[in-house]
A and B are shown apart, each in its own frame.
Chain A
């Protein structure tokens, strides 16, 4: 009602927020860098013909999909160093957590894409003498990737927003910086609004991209996963 918005103090510290954004992007990018290959590996293992492998990888994936990421972060930051002696700093713990956590979600996106490819494609590849890896690389994945893209980008958006949790282990991401500035300026509304705006600036184009790709895939008759 009588609230007077005062963005000036926030913009004075924009460099801190941008440094935070850079760290957020570092964690998100790092989680993608490790999470994608790890997720693909997990997806392929979950499709293995060996039941024990299928089941154990499945349990692992479901575990990381169904436990709160903040708890996982605490495990890797607090519990793992205590139990194993591995040294953890906030960046490393955050990176490990979100690489594994996102790989569990990616694994399901990838698996969905792979199983959506008709059996006839596998058979055609086999019939000309391809082995499993050749079939996967040359025939199945190129088709599956197209179908995975929308669901995958959806997960990327989720991932970047979820990385806000790293602030809880004092990793200086965008939200952590916003919090600090809010406390020093007593302007939490302005600070968090600007922070949200920064997330929006990065993620909105991604979201538009998803929509566009979905429309294109619909045009060429390729279904989307999920």
Chain B
């Protein structure tokens, strides 16, 4: 029996009059890599953002290692900011637009969490930050500012910043969508390495080739529901749902054999 890290049940999110998530059930186990695909507006990013409470779910429940996040009041789960802060510290998040802190050097960006949040001593947060910069293969840029880096380098620093918190799970929200095509590879390489090392990863992605070769499980979302879920092969190569088939056909450049060999 594999160990459950993060799960949600009947998760719903409503913006003003727009029901973005219509009841999502999901379980992510330790060491698992899960890719969430779907058209834009399908709710996949919102799902990810609800899992670390950058968006507060409208209803349903989220559990970290089986423990309910928030507190139950009259059958509804309510969230207090002070309860969510330690949860976010355990869930790493990588954004589409990197969101590095522009006034800090690369090293300072990566040290910031261990320093300010974990309140580690200087010797510890510094060596920890350096080791994660080495992990994303960018230690030589430690004194550069984000504006001096390429998009791919910035995203790798953002990954190191999230890793430095030593999270239980990493969420990647379209981590390569804002990158020039030639820079996508270096970021995917880092993500792949993390997955191979057994870090639990959830990625929302448009890189179907990468999802196929790297993710153990793929989830197809449409209009706020999970339409299809299974192994990468089942969902991407032999999809059952007409919507999934249509979506995959829409990605005309999607060629499975080529993407598999190119890794």
Contacts and interface: CB of A to CB of B under 8 A. Distances in A.
Interface of A: 118, 120-121, 123-132, 134, 138-139, 142-143, 146, 221
B165 interface: yes
Nearest to A127: B93
B99 A124 contact: yes
Given A120-B99, A121-B101, A134-B117, A126 B162 contact: no
B117 A129 contact: yes
A6 B33 CA distance: 87
Contact of B88 (A121, A129, A132, A146): A129
Contacts of A124: 95, 99-101, 158, 161
Contact of A123 (B89, B90, B95): B95
Given A126-B88, A127-B93, A121 B99 contact: yes
Given A126-B88, A127-B88, A130-B116, A143 B103 contact: yes
Given A120-B99, A128-B112, 14 more contacts: A124-B100, A124-B101, A125-B101, A127-B91, A127-B162, A128-B117, A129-B88, A129-B89, A129-B165, A130-B116, A131-B85, A134-B117, A139-B112, A142-B103
B57 interface: no
B102 interface: yes
Interface in B56-111: 81-82, 85-86, 88-93, 95, 97, 99-103
A148 to B, nearest CB: 14
Contacts of B113: 128-130
B116 A134 contact: yes
Contacts of A221: 147
B102 A129 contact: no
A129 B116 CA distance: 9
Given A124-B99, A128-B165, A129-B165, A138 B112 contact: yes
Nearest to B89: A129
B126 to A, nearest CB: 16
B52 interface: yes
Q: Which of B82, B112, B147, B165 has the most CB of A within 10 A?
A: B112
